Chain A
């Protein structure tokens, strides 16, 4: 579907200047030395993500996959309306813990990033950072129609429409908003995918890294972080 009148043309992409504290510059240290600093380069490592091979033997890999599937640690990161629907999963009524699902507070310890609804450009930036900090193998689950095709924010100037342009998505749960039951079903399906050895989103991301980065930078105009935050 096209816009009814497309007289409006968006601004051709103008560069957004880097914030002052992030620009490369010269500083004088307390003992009088002059040094060059480049905040974006000095504090982060710039290596691209690696494709990690599977374990050599199929049996071992299957065993590992079984363990991964039965110990899904979710990053406690909520966007959009869906963050509300994740909470009931911890309560006695749904109790996701019995399936080995836990919420972890830091990306370093999580395996599953649940994008729980619409993602504004500003949040997308944070979601990408969080995703890249998670250790491999990692999975992404998109909740709700907003992550699938924009949902009711299909004409919003500030939310992305297809999550899989920016992050490799392993599982979508449809609905607006998906009920907790649907979420549980999504987790079960994700487990099946992982056990079949198809949950290789992180490797996909590493293989098509340039493609993903190009997509991300097309919408995140003020890219003020290193290309890969690991």
Chain B
């Protein structure tokens, strides 16, 4: 894994790699180099499988983070590339021609986060939501609790217990163990 990164480091701008395990590593890359790196990983380094493409909403920094996770099945290595996008104009670069499955991920991101990928097939069609008119629901400024209270009727009589105090009251006084 490390020597792959060394090889890439010479030609691309890589951030500090974060090793979760020996065979799982996260690294931040520049957006304009993403395509080149992915292609090289796929064709030269044997990372043939796109495990996942997902997003994180860093609302405080006004950024979206896209995570492209690719996997080398032969060597059992997983490498995740992180790309930061501007939250205001949330537009990513489509990679559906590298991995056709990416088109589905991109449709989902378009619907759930509102990140669009121009050129990706059927990206503007509905994916799982039907007739959704509000903010994309996975954005962090979308408040699901408030939304559901304003949309669906409650049945009165619902109580919520804090698990910790409830456990202490009903089962063991010294929960969690050794707290007292």
Report the Cα distance A148→B157, complex, angstroms: 11
Cβ B134 vs Cβ A11 within 8 A: yes
Cβ A8 vs Cβ B133 within 8 A: no
Report the Cα distance A162→B141, complex, angstroms: 26
Cβ B130 vs Cβ A3 within 8 A: no
Say yes or no: is B148 at the interface (Cβ < 8 Å to chain A): yes
Residues facing B in A52-90 (CB within 8 A) are: none
Cβ B150 vs Cβ A10 within 8 A: yes
Collect the chain B residues with CB atoms within 8 Å of residue A148's CB.
155
Report the Cα distance A118→B150, complex, angstroms: 18
Say yes or no: is A138 at the interface (Cβ < 8 Å to chain B): no
- Given contacts A10-B151, A221-B133, A222-B131, are A149 and B158 in contact (CB under 8 A)? yes
Cβ A9 vs Cβ B150 within 8 A: yes
- The interface bits of chain B over 152-179 (1 if a CB of A lies within 8 angstroms of the residue's CB, else 0) are 1111011010000000000000000000
Say yes or no: is B74 at the interface (Cβ < 8 Å to chain A): no
Cβ A10 vs Cβ B146 within 8 A: yes
Collect the chain A residues with CB atoms within 8 Å of residue B135's CB.
11
Number of interface residues of B (CB under 8 A): 27
Say yes or no: is A174 at the interface (Cβ < 8 Å to chain B): no
Report the Cα distance A16→B126, complex, angstroms: 12
Cβ A161 vs Cβ B134 within 8 A: no
Cβ B152 vs Cβ A221 within 8 A: no
Say yes or no: is A28 at the interface (Cβ < 8 Å to chain B): no
Say yes or no: is A36 at the interface (Cβ < 8 Å to chain B): no
Residues facing B in A99-121 (CB within 8 A) are: 121
- Given contacts A222-B130, A222-B131, are A155 and B153 in contact (CB under 8 A)? no
Collect the chain A residues with CB atoms within 8 Å of residue B150's CB.
9-10
The number of A-B residue pairs with CB atoms under 8 Å apart is: 84
- The interface bits of chain B over 125-155 (1 if a CB of A lies within 8 angstroms of the residue's CB, else 0) are 0001111111101000111111111111111
Collect the chain A residues with CB atoms within 8 Å of residue B129's CB.
122, 158
- Given contacts A10-B150, A149-B155, are A155 and B144 in contact (CB under 8 A)? yes
CB distance from A178 to the nearest CB of B (A): 17
Central interface residue in A1, A154, A157, A218, by most chain B CB within 10 Å: A157
Report the Cα distance A7→B149, complex, angstroms: 13
Across the interface, name the chain B residue whose C-beta is closest to A8: B143
- Given contacts A158-B137, A161-B152, A161-B154, are A16 and B131 in contact (CB under 8 A)? yes
Report the Cα distance A122→B33, complex, angstroms: 39
Cβ B143 vs Cβ A3 within 8 A: yes
Report the Cα distance A160→B154, complex, angstroms: 9
Across the interface, name the chain A residue whose C-beta is closest to B137: A157
Cβ B131 vs Cβ A156 within 8 A: no
> Which residue of the partner chain, among B128, B132, B142, B153, contacts A8 with CB atoms under 8 Å?
B142
> Which residue of the partner chain, among A1, A157, A218, contacts B142 with CB atoms under 8 Å?
A157
- The interface bits of chain B over 4-19 (1 if a CB of A lies within 8 angstroms of the residue's CB, else 0) are 0000000000000000
Cβ A14 vs Cβ B153 within 8 A: no
Cβ B146 vs Cβ A3 within 8 A: yes
Counting from the closest, the 6 A-B pairs by CB-CB distance are: A222-B131, A8-B143, A221-B131, A149-B155, A155-B145, A8-B146
Q: A149-B154, A154-B148 are in contact. List 12 more A-B contacts (CB 8 A).
A: A1-B160, A7-B143, A9-B150, A10-B134, A11-B134, A16-B131, A122-B128, A156-B148, A157-B151, A161-B153, A165-B153, A219-B151
